[in-house]
Amino acid sequence: MIEHEQLMYKVLGKISETNAPIIFKGALIAKLILAENGFSKLDRITRDIDANWVDTPPSMCVLVETVNQSLETFKGALRAEAMRVYTEKKSAGISIIDTVTGDRIISMDITIKPVTGSRVYHYGEASIRGVLVNEILADKITALSGIKMFRRSKDLIDVYALTQCVKVLTTEIFEVINSKQLELGDFSELLTRRDDVEHAYKKLQGIKGKPSFDNIYLYMTKFVLPFAQKDKTPKIWNDEKQAWDNTSLPL
């Protein structure tokens, strides 16, 4: 793990200690899930923090001050500044500044929206509040289903890795998609524009153990099938067979 990621996890831990209404998500939480499940053959470097503010929408001043209160334990070495004001459809942008150099060293995107559930993850001595794995998967599956999926090639990596080490049930993913009112597309870009998907995938950098495109593309086209077909028949993903098995779980 690079030094920058270690610093971000320290920031996540300090914010979580304050009981601020901030729940973390995205690649940093995905990496913790992979680590606790012993999955180490693939590692994607991430440089930003993603989170949700899950309480009454704050002013930007309150949001920034909440983060700054959490940074007090860094003894003045870091401070937060507003980078982008949030709207109904846009997340708040926060910059964390190195007070010695004046450089922005971390970017935080904070969506003002509740989550479907959360739990505590651990990195060293830090306890970090993060979303549940099904919310991560639902967000990334819906991102891959849309017409802008070429901008989200990193989600191919995250879904590929997570589905090899956690239990994935279609019923649970559809439940999150419905409760968050996510827009599930038809995956037409992913399924019909293979060359374009490959081009975007090959541009991804900073991935240890990066799978060949042929392997990940075959895996993912099988995985997204019930979501592309909007098939809500209860199924469980079998990563060894790279196939969905039927299950008797109720809808």
pLDDT in tens, 115-135: 999 999 999 999 999 999 999
Q: Of 80, 115, 131, which residue is a domain's last?
A: 131
Please state the pTM of the whole predicted model: 0.93
Q: Are residues 204 and 138 in the same domain?
A: yes
**Hey, what amino acid is at 119?**
R
State the residue range of the domain holding 26. 3-131
Same structural domain, 116 and 17: yes
Instruction: Dump pLDDT digits (tens) for 58-110.
Output: 999 999 999 999 999 998 999 999 999 999 889 999 999 999 999 999 999 99
Q: Judge if 186 and 208 occupy the same domain.
A: yes
Statement to judge: residues 7 and 126 lie in one domain: yes
Rounded to whole angstroms, the Cα distance separating 159 from 223 reads: 9
pLDDT digits (tens, 9 = 90+) for 153-165: 999 999 999 999 9
For residue 81, is it within any domain? yes
Q: Are 161 and 42 in contact (CB under 8 A)?
A: yes
Closest CA to 116 of 184, 163, 181, 198: 181
185 and 77 in a common domain = no
Judge if 152 and 76 occupy the same domain: no
- If asked whether residues 113 and 174 sit together in one domain, one would say no
Which residue in 228, 227, 229, 226 sits closest to 246, CA to CA? 226
Q: What is the CATH number of the domain that holds 28?
A: 3.10.450
Residue 219, pLDDT > 50, answer yes
Q: Within this chain, do residues 97 and 152 fall inside the same structural domain, yes or no?
A: no
- DSSP code per residue over 62-79: HHHHHHHHHGGGGTTSEE
Q: Give residue-wise pLDDT tens across range 187-208.
A: 999 999 999 999 999 999 989 9
14 and 122 co-located in one domain:
yes
Q: Is 251 within a domain? A: no
